[in-house]
Amino acid sequence: MAPRKSKGDGEEKAKPLAPTSTRVTRSMDRQTRSATKPDGAKAAGSITKQVKLASPKRKKPATETGRGAKKAKKEEKDEEKEEEAAEVEDPTKPKIVIEHCKQCNAFKTRAIQVKEGLEGAVPGVTVTLNPEKPRRGCFEIRKEGGETFISLLEMKRPFAPMKALDMEEVIEDIIKKIK
């Protein structure tokens, strides 16, 4: 609020507040926890320590929508990776790498289509999707450490070269080259 205006002449001045004010505020009425303790506790100077009790750990089964779902999925992925690493690599089995951009779902659907087609047609083939971080606008199918079957790099939207591909023909060509 603005201060009160002085009366007309300006001869009367507002009285200054006394050095010891008798004004009481709401915060002055409130008491702290230490003020409410009994006098014996203050005088003795007792200090209480918080003790952490060990509780028995329980493993809850992970549900599809529960909090543990992410952790359970991560553990499953780790187990799958360990199983893959434990398998003895057979040099006669072909290993195919499909690198697809994550910019658009069209890349992913085509990559999965090729993977399923190859695994169904060629026994013992190992198909991996994006073993490393994929390049932008890239759709590439290659034999690990060698021959490249399809290489579409640095495509811009709407990804016409990839969408023009007949994936059934692509899968058949790759199968012929593998065998």
**What is the DSSP annotation of 83-124?**
HHHHSPPPTTS-EEEEEE-SS-HHHHHHHHHHHHHHHHHSTT
**Does the pLDDT of residue 112 top 90, yes or no?**
yes
At 86 the pLDDT is: 46
Burial 53-70 (b: 16+ CB within 10 A, else e): eeeeeeeeebeeeeeeee
Q: What integer pLDDT is reported at residue 142 of this predicted model? A: 94
Decide if pLDDT at 140 tops 60: yes
pLDDT of 107 above 90: yes
Integer Cα distance of 178 and 176 in angstroms: 6
- The answer, yes or no, to whether residue 121 has pLDDT greater than 70, is yes
Does pLDDT of 116 surpass 80? yes
pLDDT at 82 over 70: no
Hey, which residues does 150 pair with through a beta bridge?
A: 141
Closest by CA to 175, choosing from 131, 137, 123, is 123
pLDDT in tens, 10-34: 555 555 555 666 777 777 667 777 7
The pLDDT of 35-58, averaged and rounded, is 62
pLDDT at 170 > cutoff 60: yes
Domain ranges of the chain: 95-178
Pick the more confident residue, 159 or 42: 159
* Cα–Cα distance for residue pair 64/61, rounded to 1 Å: 10
Instruction: Please compute the mean of the pLDDT values over residues 127-136 and round it to a whole number.
Output: 93
Average pLDDT of the residues of the chain: 77
Residue 56 confidence (pLDDT): 65
- Segment 86-100 shows an average pLDDT of 76
Q: Which two tokens stand for residue 98?
A: 């499909």
Which of the four pLDDT bands, split at 50, 70 and 90, describes residue 130?
Answer: very high
What are 63's two structure tokens?
């549900």
Give mean pLDDT, residues 134-144: 93
What is the CATH number assigned to the segment(s) 95-178?
Answer: 3.40.30
